[in-house]
Amino acid sequence: MAKNANLLTIFAEDVRQEVNGQISIIGVFDDELVISKYPTTIPKICLLSTISTLIDDPMDIASFRVFFENGETLISSELPPELSTNRKAIISQTKDIGDYEWMFMRVQVEMSNLRVDQDSTLRAEIVGSDGSVATSNSLKIILREPQKRTPSITL
Protein backbone atom coordinates (compact mmCIF):
# COMPACT_ATOMS: atom_id res chain seq x y z
CA MET A 1 0.00 0.00 0.00
CA ALA A 2 1.33 3.41 -0.96
CA LYS A 3 1.82 5.86 1.90
CA ASN A 4 2.61 8.81 -0.35
CA ALA A 5 -0.24 8.60 -2.88
CA ASN A 6 -4.03 8.35 -3.09
CA LEU A 7 -6.37 7.44 -5.93
CA LEU A 8 -9.99 8.63 -6.10
CA THR A 9 -12.17 7.49 -9.00
CA ILE A 10 -15.51 8.82 -10.21
CA PHE A 11 -17.48 6.19 -12.13
CA ALA A 12 -19.96 7.65 -14.63
CA GLU A 13 -21.86 7.06 -17.85
CA ASP A 14 -19.79 9.69 -19.65
CA VAL A 15 -16.91 12.08 -19.06
CA ARG A 16 -16.32 14.81 -21.62
CA GLN A 17 -13.49 17.25 -22.08
CA GLU A 18 -15.14 20.51 -23.15
CA VAL A 19 -13.55 23.01 -25.56
CA ASN A 20 -13.32 25.57 -22.74
CA GLY A 21 -11.17 23.18 -20.68
CA GLN A 22 -13.92 22.09 -18.30
CA ILE A 23 -14.73 18.46 -17.66
CA SER A 24 -18.39 17.39 -17.81
CA ILE A 25 -19.28 14.28 -15.83
CA ILE A 26 -22.64 12.75 -16.74
CA GLY A 27 -24.54 10.02 -14.92
CA VAL A 28 -22.32 9.58 -11.86
CA PHE A 29 -22.76 6.27 -10.03
CA ASP A 30 -22.72 6.29 -6.23
CA ASP A 31 -21.11 3.06 -5.12
CA GLU A 32 -23.43 0.66 -6.97
CA LEU A 33 -24.51 0.02 -10.53
CA VAL A 34 -27.71 -2.03 -10.35
CA ILE A 35 -28.53 -4.32 -13.25
CA SER A 36 -31.60 -6.49 -13.80
CA LYS A 37 -30.10 -9.65 -15.36
CA TYR A 38 -26.91 -11.58 -16.07
CA PRO A 39 -25.14 -11.74 -18.37
CA THR A 40 -25.32 -8.11 -19.34
CA THR A 41 -23.30 -5.68 -21.40
CA ILE A 42 -22.77 -2.16 -20.11
CA PRO A 43 -22.67 -0.02 -23.26
CA LYS A 44 -20.31 2.59 -21.83
CA ILE A 45 -18.68 3.31 -18.49
CA CYS A 46 -16.15 6.03 -17.81
CA LEU A 47 -13.67 6.54 -15.01
CA LEU A 48 -12.16 9.84 -14.00
CA SER A 49 -9.34 9.03 -11.58
CA THR A 50 -7.51 11.69 -9.61
CA ILE A 51 -4.06 10.69 -8.43
CA SER A 52 -2.66 12.71 -5.54
CA THR A 53 0.93 12.32 -4.42
CA LEU A 54 3.06 14.08 -1.82
CA ILE A 55 5.35 16.76 -3.22
CA ASP A 56 8.11 16.07 -0.68
CA ASP A 57 7.92 12.29 -1.20
CA PRO A 58 6.23 11.73 -4.56
CA MET A 59 5.24 8.32 -5.83
CA ASP A 60 7.07 7.48 -9.04
CA ILE A 61 4.04 6.07 -10.85
CA ALA A 62 4.87 3.24 -13.23
CA SER A 63 1.44 1.95 -14.29
CA PHE A 64 -2.34 2.41 -14.13
CA ARG A 65 -4.83 -0.45 -14.18
CA VAL A 66 -8.63 -0.94 -14.18
CA PHE A 67 -9.76 -4.34 -12.96
CA PHE A 68 -12.49 -6.49 -11.48
CA GLU A 69 -11.69 -7.63 -7.94
CA ASN A 70 -11.96 -11.24 -9.13
CA GLY A 71 -8.59 -10.66 -10.81
CA GLU A 72 -9.65 -9.82 -14.38
CA THR A 73 -7.69 -6.84 -15.73
CA LEU A 74 -9.74 -4.70 -18.13
CA ILE A 75 -7.15 -2.02 -18.94
CA SER A 76 -3.50 -1.81 -18.01
CA SER A 77 -1.04 0.82 -19.14
CA GLU A 78 2.56 1.60 -18.37
CA LEU A 79 2.90 5.33 -17.95
CA PRO A 80 5.32 7.12 -20.28
CA PRO A 81 8.75 7.93 -18.77
CA GLU A 82 8.33 11.62 -19.65
CA LEU A 83 5.50 11.77 -17.07
CA SER A 84 8.07 11.29 -14.32
CA THR A 85 10.37 13.93 -15.84
CA ASN A 86 7.49 16.42 -16.21
CA ARG A 87 6.29 15.70 -12.67
CA LYS A 88 9.76 16.40 -11.25
CA ALA A 89 9.89 19.73 -13.11
CA ILE A 90 6.45 20.70 -11.80
CA ILE A 91 7.45 19.77 -8.26
CA SER A 92 10.58 21.90 -8.39
CA GLN A 93 8.53 24.88 -9.65
CA THR A 94 5.80 24.31 -7.05
CA LYS A 95 8.28 24.29 -4.17
CA ASP A 96 9.27 27.82 -5.17
CA ILE A 97 5.73 29.26 -5.11
CA GLY A 98 4.17 28.14 -1.85
CA ASP A 99 3.47 25.64 0.83
CA TYR A 100 1.75 22.94 -1.21
CA GLU A 101 1.86 19.38 0.12
CA TRP A 102 0.15 17.47 -2.70
CA MET A 103 0.14 17.46 -6.47
CA PHE A 104 -2.69 16.04 -8.56
CA MET A 105 -2.94 14.26 -11.91
CA ARG A 106 -5.98 12.90 -13.72
CA VAL A 107 -6.48 9.76 -15.77
CA GLN A 108 -9.62 9.45 -17.87
CA VAL A 109 -10.75 6.02 -19.11
CA GLU A 110 -13.68 5.10 -21.34
CA MET A 111 -14.73 1.48 -21.71
CA SER A 112 -17.36 0.24 -24.17
CA ASN A 113 -19.42 -2.94 -24.22
CA LEU A 114 -18.26 -4.16 -20.82
CA ARG A 115 -19.61 -7.68 -20.34
CA VAL A 116 -20.59 -8.65 -16.80
CA ASP A 117 -21.63 -12.21 -15.93
CA GLN A 118 -21.93 -11.98 -12.13
CA ASP A 119 -21.86 -9.54 -9.22
CA SER A 120 -18.55 -7.73 -9.59
CA THR A 121 -16.50 -4.94 -8.08
CA LEU A 122 -14.67 -2.53 -10.37
CA ARG A 123 -11.57 -0.64 -9.21
CA ALA A 124 -8.57 1.28 -10.48
CA GLU A 125 -5.03 1.25 -9.14
CA ILE A 126 -1.67 2.85 -9.65
CA VAL A 127 1.60 1.02 -9.08
CA GLY A 128 4.82 2.79 -8.20
CA SER A 129 8.20 1.88 -9.63
CA ASP A 130 9.05 0.55 -6.13
CA GLY A 131 6.04 -1.83 -6.23
CA SER A 132 3.85 0.23 -3.90
CA VAL A 133 0.16 0.27 -4.82
CA ALA A 134 -2.66 2.80 -4.35
CA THR A 135 -6.12 1.39 -5.02
CA SER A 136 -9.22 3.50 -5.68
CA ASN A 137 -12.68 3.35 -4.25
CA SER A 138 -14.91 0.80 -5.98
CA LEU A 139 -18.08 0.45 -8.02
CA LYS A 140 -20.12 -2.62 -7.16
CA ILE A 141 -22.09 -4.05 -10.07
CA ILE A 142 -24.98 -5.98 -8.56
CA LEU A 143 -28.11 -7.81 -9.63
CA ARG A 144 -31.28 -6.38 -8.12
CA GLU A 145 -34.64 -5.19 -9.26
CA PRO A 146 -34.46 -1.43 -9.64
CA GLN A 147 -36.05 0.30 -6.69
CA LYS A 148 -38.33 3.25 -7.09
CA ARG A 149 -36.71 6.32 -5.67
CA THR A 150 -38.73 8.55 -3.43
CA PRO A 151 -38.53 12.20 -4.39
CA SER A 152 -36.11 14.15 -2.26
CA ILE A 153 -36.35 17.74 -1.20
CA THR A 154 -33.29 19.92 -1.39
CA LEU A 155 -33.25 23.06 0.68
pLDDT along the chain (155 residues), means of 10: 91 95 95 94 96 85 94 92 72 64 88 96 95 96 78 69
Per-residue model confidence (pLDDT) at position 2: 84
Per-residue model confidence (pLDDT) at position 3: 86
Per-residue model confidence (pLDDT) at position 140: 97
Per-residue model confidence (pLDDT) at position 155: 67
| Average pLDDT along the chain | 88
Omega within 30 of 0 (cis) for the link into 43: no
Do β-strands 139-143 and 32-35 pair in parallel, antiparallel, or remain unpaired?
parallel
- The CATH number that domain 5-143 falls under is 2.60.40
Each domain of the chain, given as residue ranges in start order, spans 5-143
* CB-based contact 62:79 (threshold 8 Å): yes
Sheet holding 102-116, edge to edge: 23-28, 5-17, 40-54, 102-116
Give the pLDDT confidence of 78-112 residue by residue, as tens digits. 987 777 677 777 767 766 556 678 888 899 999 99
Q: Which phi-psi region, left, alpha or beta, contains residue 113 (left: φ > 0; alpha: ψ -120 to 50)?
A: left
